[in-house]
Amino acid sequence: MLSVEERAWRTRRLEMIKRYEETESRADFIHEAWIWRILSEKANPDRSEVVEVLAKARELKGLAPAEAAVLLNNRDPELREEMFASARRIKEQVYGNRIVLFAPLYVSSPCVNNCAYCGFRHTNRAVSRRTFSLDELEGEVRALTAQGHKRVIAVYGEHPESDADFMCRSIERIYAAGNGRGEIRRVNVNAPPLAVDEYRTLKEVGIGTFQVFQETYHHETYRRMHPANTLKGSYRWRLFALHRAQEAGIDDVAIGALFGLYDWRFEVLGLICHALDLEREFGIGPHTISFPRVEPALNTPFTTRPSHLVNDEDFKTVVAVLRCAVPYTGLILTCRERPELRREVLGLGVSQADAGSRIAVGGYTEMEREQIPERQQFQLADTRSLDGFIYELCRDGYIPSFCTSCYRAARTGCHFMTFAKKGLVRHFCIPNAVLTFQEYLLDYAMPRTRAVGQRIIAQYVARFAEQLPKRVGRLEELLQRIKSGERDLRF
Ligand code: SF4
């Protein structure tokens, strides 16, 4: 049960949301009948139609929802392989073969909501929840940076203990916890939707991306999953959460859907509609898209039999279609997925992944086991260490990246998109990946990772020398300075 204080806080927030709903003039851009119509009109696409859509995707033009529906409905195995190859190629063209690494950092888990699929819902007595003190948080950050992480996504429950003011103070402490070598250089945020003035305070403390998942774009399913009279019960407050963030000047925003709540094809088109609406209004789509699947959570019956389970093959299609549809948007693959599947899906257009993740408050400092369901929101399927994951990335030819330069050089929002569209990722992101990976290898890597990592760096430097001969000298100079002890050097 909620305490008196929690109920009072929730009532005040509900009143604010109600006032917002009465005055918000934006139109809901999820037209369900239209989405179903295009899915049914494209139910059996012929070969030439699929080929045509893939050709457009490879030109990096992005796809309209009706074109994405063609790919979602394609059943031809040969064309499906061609779609996977196209997704790979698009990723390589836009982002290169690098994977940006991050870790989730659970700062608070108490929540006044009661979402059917969540272990942290307030009526779930089987899971314990808590909020870090700032000193405890600093210890957690040190444990993360000791692994080599430079980028986190700070996760907050919707609760009076973790309101916007607390978020600001905790983010300041995360940045301040660094000691030169070990430091967090970018704090992204996964938190409940906020009001414009609250977003402004977060912008002032220098957040990276603000992430809000709609969970499901299907209105009726949304209503069933998120009880009325909870803060998450308002579909529109959540649907326009990132529009408000943009209004407040936060131009890196991240969307996502929780796959397993409703039909996966519908959700993919919902994500694309969301991206298009942000682009229409602000000239910039989401910085990243996430596509987590429902995972088991303790004492949470819905998670053991999700109504629209997405199998692995369909999941691969989800990722490849998104890559084709939104070529300049990052795609995030998380440790919810099994290592074998992560290996496969990484090659379908993913640009960011977490590693060594723990998803409880205190997960990096207090948990003697990799997972303790009584403290987690859900369970992870990939609990490998950061170093183990990096070793595998290198073995598969990727360059792991801890780069945070764009954000610190103010290349966010439209600036980043323009930069990516001009193909400048090759000039900046690849060498910065090499430089930050060199730091990792020197400061944190196990011997076998260091050995394979140095080979990968040598290959990338050689490729860089072929493609951009005028800039390779600078790259070699910076690498040498890192080997001599300098840190945080970048293009
Ligand atoms: S999904 Fe988020 S809002 Fe819903 S109960 Fe869990 S932590 Fe709270």
- Strand locations in 397-482, DSSP E? 399-401
pLDDT (0 to 100) of residue 408: 73
Ligand 1 within 6 A of 121 CB?
A: yes
The helix/strand/coil state of 398 is coil
Distance 317 CA to ligand 1 centre (A): 27
Q: At residue 348, what are phi and psi to the nearest 5 degrees?
A: -105, 15
Rounded CA separation 406/174 (Å):
19
CA of 234 to the centre of ligand 1 (A): 13
Report whether residue 98 contacts ligand 1, using a CB cutoff of 6 Å: no
E strands present in 86-229: 98-106, 151-155, 186-190, 210-211
Q: Which of 20-34, 80-94, 412-426 has the lowest mean pLDDT?
A: 412-426
Q: Measured from the CB, is residue 109 less than 6 Å from ligand 1?
A: no
Its pTM stands at 0.96
The finding on whether 226 has its CB within 6 A of some atom of ligand 1 is: no
CA atoms of 235 and 237, how far apart (whole Å):
6
Query: What was the pLDDT predicted at 18?
Result: 97
Identify which of 120, 122, 155, 156 to mutate to test ligand 1's pocket (most ligand atoms within 8 A of the CB): 120
Under DSSP, is residue 369 helix (H, G, I), strand (E, B) or coil?
coil
Tens of pLDDT, residues 392-401? 999 999 999 9
For the cut 80, the answer to whether the pLDDT of residue 128 exceeds it is: yes
Q: Is 113 in the pocket of ligand 1 (CB under 6 A)?
A: yes
- Which residue has the CA at smallest separation from atom 5 of ligand 1? 121
**Position 427 pLDDT exceeds 80:** no
Whether the CB of 115 sits within 6 Å of ligand 1: yes
> Distance between CA atoms of 101 and 184, rounded to whole angstroms?
12
DSSP secondary structure code for residue 26 in this structure: P
Instruction: Kindly give the distance from the C-alpha atom of residue 402 to the centroid of ligand 1, in angstroms, as a whole number.
Output: 29
Is the model's pLDDT at 417 over the cut of 90? no
pLDDT tens digits for 332-344?
Answer: 999 999 999 999 9
Buried b (16+ CB within 10 A) or exposed e, 105-131: bbbbbbbbbbbbbbbbbbebeebebbb
Q: Which amino acid is at 481?
A: R
Ligand 1 atom closest to Cα of 109?
7
Q: Please answer whether residues 116 and 235 qualify as being in contact, where contact means their C-beta atoms are separated by less than 8 angstroms.
A: no
User: Ligand 1 atom 2: the closest Cα is on which residue?
Assistant: 157
CA distances to 100, 251, 286 from 411, in Å:
16, 10, 14
Which residue minimizes the CA distance to atom 3 of ligand 1? 113
User: Which atom, in ligand 1's list, is nearest to the CA of 118?
Assistant: 6
Residue 302: half-sphere exposure toward Cβ, Cα within 13 Å: 22
Rounded to the nearest angstrom, the distance between the alpha carbon of 110 and the centre of ligand 1 is 9
**Residue 170 pLDDT > 80, yes or no?**
yes
Say if ligand 1 is within 6 A of residue 111 CB: yes
Ligand 1 pocket, mutate which of 10, 106, 113, 223 (most atoms under 8 A from CB): 113
Looking at residue 421, what is its pLDDT? Answer: 75
Q: Tokens 């809000």, residue?
A: 212
How does pLDDT run across 367-387, given as a tens digit for each residue? 778 888 999 999 999 999 999
Collapsed DSSP state (helix, strand, coil) of residue 188: strand
Domain spans in the chain, listed from the N-terminal domain onward: 4-29+95-384, 32-90, 410-483
pLDDT of residue 11: 97
* In this structure, CATH architecture of domain 4-29+95-384: Alpha-Beta Barrel (3.20)
Flag whether pLDDT at 463 surpasses 70: yes
pLDDT digits over 6-49, tens only?
999 999 999 999 999 999 999 999 999 999 999 999 999 999 99
Ligand 1 pocket member 118 (CB < 6 A): yes
DSSP annotation string for 61-104 = ----HHHHHHHHH---HHHHHHHHHHHHHHHHHHHTTEEEEEEE
136-159 tens-digit pLDDT: 999 999 999 999 999 999 999 999
Q: How far, in Å, from the CA of 422 to the mean position of ligand 1?
A: 39
* pLDDT of 181 strictly over 90: no
* Euclidean distance between CA atoms 107 and 169, whole angstroms: 11
Give all strands (DSSP E) within 271-324, no chain letters. Answer: 288-290
Ligand 1 atom closest to residue 215's alpha carbon, by position in its atom list? 1
Q: Above pLDDT 90, what percent of the chain?
A: 88
Counted residue by residue, the chain has a size of 491
Q: Is the CB of 231 under 6 A from ligand 1?
A: no
Amino acid occupying residue 428: F
Query: Mean pLDDT score of the chain, rounded to an integer?
Result: 95
The H or E element that residue 141 is part of is helix 134-145
pLDDT in tens, 225-270: 999 999 999 999 999 999 999 999 999 999 999 999 999 999 999 9
pLDDT band at 180; cut points 50, 70, 90: low
Identify the pLDDT of residue 298. Answer: 95
Sign of the C-alpha dihedral, residues 338, 339, 340, 342? positive
pLDDT at residue 412 tops 90: no
What span, in angstroms and rounded, lies between the C-alpha atoms of 48 and 50?
5
Distance CA 300, CA 312 (A): 22
> φ, ψ for residue 102 (rounded to 5)?
-150, 175
Tell me how far the alpha carbon of residue 121 lies from the centroid of ligand 1, in angstroms. Answer: 6
400 CA from centroid of ligand 1 (Å) = 31
Work out the average pLDDT over 97-106: 96
Q: How far is the CA of 17 from the centre of ligand 1 (A)?
A: 17
Please report the atom of ligand 1 found closest to the CA of residue 114: 5
Residue 110: CB within 6 Å of ligand 1?
Answer: no
DSSP conformation class of 161:
G
Share of the chain above pLDDT 70, in %: 98
